[in-house]
Structures are given as C-alpha cells and as structure tokens.
Amino acid sequence: MKFDPMSPETLENPGAAYSELRAKCPFHRYDGPDFKFAITSDYREIKEEILQDNPTWSFRFGNAAKDTISDVGFKSDPPFHMAFRASLASGFAPRQLKTYEGDIERICDELIAKMLAMPEGRGDFHDLFALPLPSRIMCVMLGAPEADNLHYKHWADILQDMLFHDPKPGSFEPILKEIYPHFNSHLDARQAKLDAAGITEPDLSALGEVLPNDFMSRTLIARVEGRPLTRDEQLNVCLAFLTGGQETTISLIANLMWRLLETPALWEGLKQEPELVENAVEESLRFDPPVLAHFRTSLCPVAMHGEELPERSKLMFSIVGANRDPAVFEDAETFRIDRPLTEARKHLSFGAGVHFCLGAPVARLEAKIAFGKLAKALPKLRLDGPTERIGSWMHWGRVKLPVAWG
C-alpha cells in the first residue's frame, strides 16, 4: 500500500487515513525525500510492546523523525527518567491540582466575559478562548507573568516547527539563545531568595514561604539521584512547559468545540446533559488526538511483522490510528459524546508507560471546566465560517475556528 503521512489527503483527514493504513497495512515503511521510518497503528502493539518495551525503544534520540539527541531531564530513558519524573511529580498531585482550579475558572470567566462584551457577537474561538486559556495556565504553573503567554506561545511554535521539520544539529541554537536567558533570569531570582534566607538545601516547605509555589521554584527544590537538578535540567523543565503545556491543550479545546458545533445536535446534547462534559473531553482526545503520532528509536535490531528493523531505526506509532482500532473501541469511526468513560479513556493520546504525560490531569481539568462554563454562558454558540487546521503533519487542531454567539 502506498502511504504518505505528509500528503494533502492524509493532512486533510488523518483519522480516516491512518485507520485505512491500520486495516490494510498495519506495518508500513515510509521512504520519503526527507524522512525514513516505519509506521504502526495497531493499538495492542503500541500500548503493550512499544510503550512498555523500554529497553528496546528509546526516547532519548527524540520524539521526531530525525534524531534530536538528549539525555537531559524528560528526554531521557529509564531508570533516570523515572527518577527525574518523581522529583517533580508532587506538582501534579491531586492536592496541587486543586490550587489551579481557581485560576482556570477565573481565566475562563474573563475570556467568556470578553466575548460577551463584543458587540458584533462573533469572532475566532481559537484566538478568543482556546489559545489563551491553556497558555495563561501554563504561565501560572510555571511561575511567569500571564501577560507573557503570547510570547511563550511564539517560542513554542518555533521549537515545535523545528523539531518536526528541521531537527538538524545546531538549528535550535538561535532560538534557545533567546529563551534560555529569559528563564535563567527567573531561576536566578528564585535562587537569590534562597540565598538571602540562608537556605542551602531547600525542600517543599519553602514553597509559598520563601519561594512562590510554581514549577520554576520546584526545579530548585527537586532532587534526583540524591543531588539537585543541574541548570540544564531546570531549563529542560521550562522548555517542557513551553512545548507540552500549550498547543496540545489548545488543540483539545478547539477540536472539541469544532466537533460539537459541526454537528449542532451534539452541542445541544451537551447543553442538555452537562454531566457528559467529561465523556466529551475523553472522546475528543480519542477521536481527535492533538498529537497524531510519536516516535521512538530502536536500540537493537527488532523483528516486526516478519521484517527486521536495524539498530537506530525510527518507528512512528500512530496515536490517531490506534485510537480508532475497532478491536478496542466500539463504533470506532464515530464521534460520540455519550461513549462510556471506561471505554473512551483507553485512548493513547497521553501515551502510556513510563512516558505517560505528567500534565494529563491539568489538560483534562482545563477542558472539563471550560466546556462546563461555555455550555451555560454561550448557549447560542455556532460555527460562522470555514475552519482551518494546524499546519504541522504531526499535529491536529483548528487554528481558525470562526463562531458566532449572538
């Protein structure tokens, strides 16, 4: 079967394209002008073999079609990766998540009020709501001014574009020379607070007292393998928030609103049964994953489907294809907001295994609160023109979503 992940047909409807690939050719070798990699879309193989077989499939060569080698922080393999995650995991604990609820509700209310105050009663939902909510919450969590959110989004867009389109050695240096001094100044200011207080070995008790309770502070407190994080590791956390804490949740919110308004009966159904908001969020993650696929690199020769991949081969595993596997999901090609949570939550949009997304609870919380409020405050919301998808072949979201609400 001939298949091109970057063809116009695939970009237009990746869900259908990868479903067809899974059905006709579950293991496919792509040999393009810029990238060469194998592709699998089989749910069981991805979840139970690739994402669990970590001695074979490495993350440290980058989550992209070409190597972006790094052993730093989140971009490492076990066992160090697990220790690094554990050093920061308390920031995503349920008790800590509760502290973000007020900020999420506040920002949602501000954005909705701004929309309702627009006399024309129409605008781009992506720009008015889907983008600023996750972007501002990312700033809150990281410990940056909310007013910096669009600047941070700009940086994230550049980094993501380079990662998937130009991951050559040295290509990241110019933008990192702009980003690193910015975060170094924030980190240095926090370190100065510790120095002034005479604290040489800070712990969590410093949060909210000597240091602000945010993730930049947590990088100064965290310990991995008995030592403090290096500055490179601290900066890696900041970059992870930039690239992982914005676009995926922006696309989750935009994708779900698009699907609901594309079929008005679904929007009506959600308004009438608001208890289905959580189901709708999980179904959106299943049916329209913001990241269409991920990559791993083999550390040894691997036999797959009767073929052998040599060491250092790139394997792309299709999340959108796996999320529509009929062996796992009933009526897999249909978007259903009443799909049982136990079934919908089997999706792989947050990954699985040791690299399961740490920020998943935050993304879910943002979307759940947002759609609960939107359904009440903007009951007449409707599409108001053609939408436009995100440009990346690895991502799926709406960058233009014109709506009206008057």
**Percent of the chain beyond pLDDT 90?**
82
Taking the CA atoms of residue 23, residue 38, residue 236 and residue 392 in that order, the dihedral angle to the nearest 10 degrees is: -60
Using the structure block, give the residue that is written with the tokens 């910096």.
Answer: 148
365 in Cβ contact with 351 (< 8 Å): no
Q: What is the pLDDT of residues 260-269, one digit of tens each?
A: 999 999 999 9
User: In this structure, is the dihedral angle defined by the CA atoms of residues 160, 178, 124 and 140, taken in order, positive or negative?
Assistant: positive
CA-CA distance, 388 to 399, in Å (whole number)? 6
**What does the buried/exposed string (b/e) look like for 32-59 if buried means 16 or more CB atoms within 10 Å of the residue's CB?**
eeebebbbbbbbebbbebbbeebebbbb
pLDDT of residue 1: 79
Mapped onto helix, strand or coil, the DSSP state of residue 124 is strand
Mapped onto helix, strand or coil, the DSSP state of residue 296 is strand
pLDDT reading at 168 higher than 70: no
pLDDT interval class at 273 (50, 70, 90)? very high
Longest pairwise C-alpha distance within the chain: 66
CA-CA distance, 331 to 327, in Å (whole number)? 10
CA-CA distance, 60 to 192, in Å (whole number)? 33
Structural domains in the chain? 8-404 (1.10.630.10)
pLDDT of residue 72: 64
CA-CA distance, 92 to 215, in Å (whole number)? 10
pLDDT of residue 80: 80
